[in-house]
Structure 1
Amino acid sequence: TAPLFSSLLMLAIPAGVAGVGRRVAVTPPSKDGSVHPAMIAAAAEAGLDELWLLGGAQAIAALTFGVELEDGVIAPVDKLFGPGNAYVAEAKRYASALPGGPACDLPAGPSELLVIADRDADFEIVAADLLSQAEHDADAQVILVSDSGTALSEIIAEVERQVESLPRAAIARASLAEARAIRVRDTAEACEVANLYGPEHLSIQTEEAERLVECISAAGAVFVGRWAAETLGDYAAGPSHVLPTDGAARTLGGVTTASFMTTMSVQTVSEQGAAALAPVAAALARLEGLEAHARAADLRSAG
């Protein structure tokens, strides 16, 4: 429902920096079968090798198994990256679990935003931030946490006022129908709620916002203070906005250049080095009951 060329750039650019040999993007066509010009421009600017008009789980299938289309052949890829709806997220999970299937970056399903606000927050700004995520799609999750009943009621009223004028108001209202406003005892408990949820985006709009960051252990990206709009992270602040959702922030970080790279170790050992290491390796191998391992080490120390 929106041409997310920003996501294309947030993935294609770090992949290019990492030196990925083949970069392929898929994007759903519009209802008339066309592609938004901004998607083509972004793909060209990022130097992509291929851009295909495919979306949903079927696009993940094409990248996983390969497919021959009228316009050409999509060869299988080694790793799947990028956000999508619940069907895309599940398709990525399924594909990565297949024997020999592609690896997967992280769970990047419907967007999430949790805002911690107190009575000193700018209620208009907090409401605008919540709506910026709610307009993504009906499954987007927005949560408001505060130790102030006044803040909760004022922000909720401001959300209702602002949503009226949004072009995507119907989508935002569908998301808001599943939204939650949580009253906590204090900001420390607000941080506990945030860490339990592990949001994709966490906005801290409190009097001592920077102090609260020290209490956060699970979030894809943290936006600190009134001026740090999540929208700035989406488009202009720097790091990739492809972030873990569905609680995955408790164990995973967002996409970086390193996400497109692998590591390997290369070992060269001199005769003197082998003589020093082999007895240790052989002793440990025998403790594990692996005699063949031990003998392979012994042969290196026999001189």
Structure 2
Amino acid sequence: MIRSAWRYPVDVFRRFVWPARGADFATPEDHGLVPEPFTVTTSDGLRIRGWVFLPPGAWGMVVVCHARNASKSRTLSHARLLVDQGLAVVTFDFRGCGESAAPRRWWRDGLWGPLKDLDAVVRHVNTAHPGFAGRVALLGCSFGGNMAIAHAGTAGRHYPAVVLDSVPLVRWVGMLDTLLRRERRGARFRRTRAVADLLVARAASLWTRAGPLYRHARRSVRALSGTRVLQIVGARDSLFDVEDSCRFLREDCAGAVTVWRVPAGRHLTNHLADPDGYAIRVVSCLRDAFGAEQTIKEEANDRNTVG
């Protein structure tokens, strides 16, 4: 009994601090895609593996970031949808997921480690595919979107567009509180468990430096002038406070923000609930963003020529 009482908070803490290793459960071939595999090395020495899908005559490129406890295989349906629209797609495994290496010491990473993975992948994209310069966008799913938005305005690069799908732009400790409250409904010793949950949520948030990452993301969105942001939220998403997430961008984002609420959408199912609508809105956002980027470059060239 005593051992079980101690084991519960330890197991919950580990669950939030050390993510489960997301395995690849599908292949590109399952979705009719032909990948170009690549491997990059992060600034802290981890090898990150990914796939590139290059349809003929691609008019832009999208770097897709998967959700926590998942892998790049979970984004293959997104990749298929985007490739069908003539877009090149890059998808990869964050550290400790799929085929990518795991850090030796998770406790040093917190929630920040995957930012290094995304940075390494984007550097590879810029070097290996220079023809897409000015036409590279980010698409993040759930936690992958948290990484995308924290990276976009602080990495020293300009992204014409960022697409956020089912992304909890909320304080992590609050989201954990809500999740644990839902999980303990009907459980025994609910008052005792409520106290344990409260302590675990705050300990996990402190350990992973979730608070500083939230503030880092706020600084990032304030630097996104000239970036179009498409926020896709499911009307039936119950993982986080959707209104709070929308407020995050509405109050702080320097770029143009469009919110699409998918009536039948739930967490990470928006592209399945309305695939046609998903394609239309993402393509419209990217075409507008890439077109604006091209106009800016042409105006800059004209000024240089006159000078």
Decide: shared fold, TM above 0.5: no
Q: Give the TM-score normalised by the residue count of structure 2.
A: 0.32
Q: Give the TM-score normalised by the residue count of structure 1.
A: 0.32
